[in-house]
């Protein structure tokens, strides 16, 4: 069996360490804004003028941004997940 030669390069972050806090705050802020838009639309529209595509767009964007924001927040505080 042939042996593989790995160079052992260190793993580095895709986001620079100085900018990770800014990305965390922005991701959480955008996610909370879309969550607020979803909640506002849920209470301000009737069942006759709701749009499924708008609700899905808001929930998907909110969950993506809040998910990345929470993961970045955990990493910022040293909790590796």
Contact (Cβ atoms closer than 8 angstroms) between residue 62 and residue 31: yes
Contact (Cβ atoms closer than 8 angstroms) between residue 72 and residue 16: no
Q: Tell whether 40 is covered by a domain.
A: yes
Task: Say which residue the tokens 């301000």 belong to.
Answer: 44
Range of the domain at 35: 31-76
**Per-residue pLDDT at 3 exceeds 90:** no
Read off the tokens for 3: 């042996």
pTM: 0.77
Contact (Cβ atoms closer than 8 angstroms) between residue 25 and residue 59: no
- Distant-in-sequence, close-in-space partners of 75: CB < 8 Å, separation ≥ 6: 20, 81
**Per-residue pLDDT at 73 exceeds 80:** yes
Q: Tell whether 24 is covered by a domain.
A: no
Q: Tell whether 26 is covered by a domain.
A: no
Give the H/E segment covering residue 71: helix 52-76
Q: Tell whether 37 is covered by a domain.
A: yes
Of the candidates 53, 29, 31, 55, the one whose C-alpha atom is nearest the C-alpha of residue 41 is 55
Number of domains in the chain: 1
pLDDT tens digit sequence for 10-60: 777 777 888 889 999 999 999 999 999 999 998 888 888 888 899 999 999
């Amino acid at each position: 069996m042939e042996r593989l030669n790995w160079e052992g390069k260190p793993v580095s972050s895709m986001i620079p360490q100085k900018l990770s806090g800014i990305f965390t705050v922005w991701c959480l802020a955008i996610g909370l804004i879309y969550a607020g838009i979803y909640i506002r639309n849920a209470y301000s529209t009737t069942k006759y003028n709701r749009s499924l595509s708008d609700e899905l767009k808001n929930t998907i964007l909110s969950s993506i941004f809040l998910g990345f924001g929470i993961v970045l927040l955990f990493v910022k505080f040293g909790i590796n997940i």
